[in-house]
Chain A
């Protein structure tokens, strides 16, 4: 099992992601600088971490989406490699059009940082199979622009095709239809605002994030 975490200028959860993946799965994790034009061979998972890539200039994730490495991430996604964007990583995936929709300023205008309960809407994905029959999991959000938006037709399509993977039990940021995480049509690209990398061992208040990393690497 082999994973890569992409490091953008301004990423601040890259090392958290590495530790979370290593401790939850034992996988080898390589850190990949955003300026790279090639990815390590044989990757089973690519993670775009949280943070404030490029200082959130222009729009969150807009500059990072144009980083050289993102062309390779897009090609890997086309080949079916699992790609997970957490928080700023989700924003980057939307800006790169690897996922539909966009993340707006939180409806309450404030940065929200707290543990949240999530409904596992679809436990049949590569990222959620390990949750089994559990319908509620706990992770932590930390975002100022986590308010998921897409037009009604896109939201209907996402719901109809099982692409909505996680919903907030108590929506912290105004996200459309309480959406906390979605997958691509093919199911191998995940974007989620809550941090599995902040919920992978008991000392952090929840171990549920570990199940997500274990699920995706078990499917590799």
Chain B
């Protein structure tokens, strides 16, 4: 089973990397770009069916993969 975890700063948390990338895109001629967010993508394999491993992957996110003080995460299995 392949797990894909996306981690982003929470909406209320200033994403300075996103701001810098947005401003660079504006400078390159795409002034219409807005709301750029820079996050992190983590992929891994683990045995078991999606239903069975979902809680495990969630626990991994809470314990290590995301810092829930500042970040939110999305999990995709399969």
Contact = CB atoms under 8 A, between A and B. Distances in A.
Interface of A: 58-59, 62, 66, 94-95, 100-102, 104-109, 149-151, 174
21 contacts: A58-B64, A58-B65, A62-B67, A95-B67, A100-B69, A102-B67, A102-B70, A104-B70, A105-B16, A105-B17, A106-B16, A107-B16, A109-B16, A109-B17, A109-B20, A149-B13, A150-B69, A151-B12, A151-B69, A174-B14, A174-B16
Contact of A149 (B64, B65, B70): B70
Contacts, number: 35
Interface of B: 9, 12-14, 16-17, 20, 64-65, 67, 69-70
Contacts of B70: 102, 104, 149
Per CB-CB distance, the 3 closest pairs between chain A and chain B, nearest first, are A102-B69, A102-B70, A105-B16
A95 B67 CA distance: 8
Given A58-B64, A66-B64, A149 B69 contact: yes
B21 to A, nearest CB: 11
